Amino acid sequence: MNELILIMIMLASVAYISQPYWRKRVVVNSNSINGHMIDLIDKRDCLLAQIKELEFDHEVGKVSAEDFAEINARYRTATINILRRIDSMSGSNPTQKLEKELRKLRTQRENGMRFCSQCGHSVGRQSHFCPDCGQRLPK
């Protein structure tokens, strides 16, 4: 049980030390989605680092298996919740992604750029073969 208290103190100090770092960024972007996003990403990174540290402490025998299981489960749940929120905010909507890709292709075509269908290398308008992989190009 002493180890658990020790870990709590350690985590509290880590959180305390890292506080000015993310507090500053949250204040800067407090009203924007970006700020929320940065905050979430910071929290995710912080949790991942804590999980890693916990695993290390467990490996070297500083944390009992019982404590490890309990703390680990709590960290993982928290991390998954944050990942879900990041996912829902990052617009990982397949329709949006598709539209974005299509816009990119349209821009490329308008600029007269062509790309190899085999390797994606950019090719000149008049090229018959890809300079990179040698694929025959449509006229």
Annotate each residue in 71-110 with x if it binds Zn ion (CB under 5 A) or - if it does not, as one string.
----------------------------------------
- Least distance between Zn ion and beta carbon 130 (Å): 3
Q: Does 118 bind Zn ion (CB under 5 A)?
A: yes
- Selected binder of Zn ion within 64, 119, 128, 129 (CB under 5 A): 119
Q: What does residue 136 show for φ and ψ, rounded to 5 degrees?
A: -70, 135
Residue 115 phi/psi, 5-degree rounding, is: -135, 145
Residue number, 4 or 137, with CB nearest to Zn ion: 137
Phi, psi of 89 (to 5 degrees): -90, -25
Is residue 136 within 8 Å of 128, Cβ to Cβ? yes
Alpha helices in the chain (DSSP H): 2-28, 33-59, 65-89, 94-110
Position among 84, 100, 106, 121 found at the interface with Zn ion (CB under 5 A): 121
Q: Cβ distance 33 to 91 under 8 Å?
A: no
- Could you tell me which stretch among 52-60, 65-73, 102-110, 128-136 binds Zn ion (CB under 5 A)? 128-136
Nearer to Zn ion, 107 or 118 (CB): 118
